[in-house]
């Protein structure tokens, strides 16, 4: 990965597949001595009550934390993340929340999250 800024730009472009009403860069912080260390948060509105929020944290180019969330009318419908809970899953710490279910998630992948979200919205 070249830089956190470049990854934020790529994530913005990937989110464009969702035909968003608007996309906001909520936050970005990049280490002054290492442009591949830092984090960003994007929020894309699908309509007034539905949105996606993307968070990624990198250290020296390695993705350490992430969360990709789809919220519909204030309810989390789909979320990919690597919060260190659900140790019983083979894919720990990676997992997927779909409504009230927790499933394994082999690798974080924004493109797959967007594909699944598009399928849900059909």
Show Cβ contacts of residue 36 under 8 Å, excluding neighbours closer than 6 positions: 1, 2, 3, 4, 58, 60, 61
pLDDT for the residue numbered 107: 76
Q: What is the mean pLDDT of residues 7-31?
A: 95
79: its two tokens: 């979320």
For the entire predicted model, the pTM comes to: 0.93
CA 10 – CA 69 distance, rounded (Å): 17
Q: What is the mean pLDDT of residues 8-17?
A: 94
pLDDT for the residue numbered 121: 87
Q: In the chain, what are the domain boundaries?
A: 4-120
Q: Indicate if the pLDDT at residue 21 is higher than 90.
A: yes
At how many degrees (to 10) do helices 110-120 and 4-15 cross? 20
CA 66 – CA 53 distance, rounded (Å): 11
């Amino acid at each position: 990965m070249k830089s956190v800024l470049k990854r934020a730009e790529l994530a913005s472009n990937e989110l464009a597949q969702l035909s968003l009403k608007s996309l906001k860069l909520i936050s970005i912080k990049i280490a002054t001595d290492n442009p591949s260390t830092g984090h960003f948060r994007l929020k894309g509105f699908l309509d007034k009550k539905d949105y996606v929020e993307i968070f990624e944290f990198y250290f020296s180019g390695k993705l350490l934390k992430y969360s990709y969330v789809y919220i519909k009318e204030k309810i989390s419908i789909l979320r990919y993340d690597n919060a260190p809970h659900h140790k019983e899953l083979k894919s720990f710490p990676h997992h997927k929340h779909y409504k009230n279910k927790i499933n394994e998630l082999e690798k974080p992948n924004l493109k797959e999250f967007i594909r699944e979200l598009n399928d849900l919205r059909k």
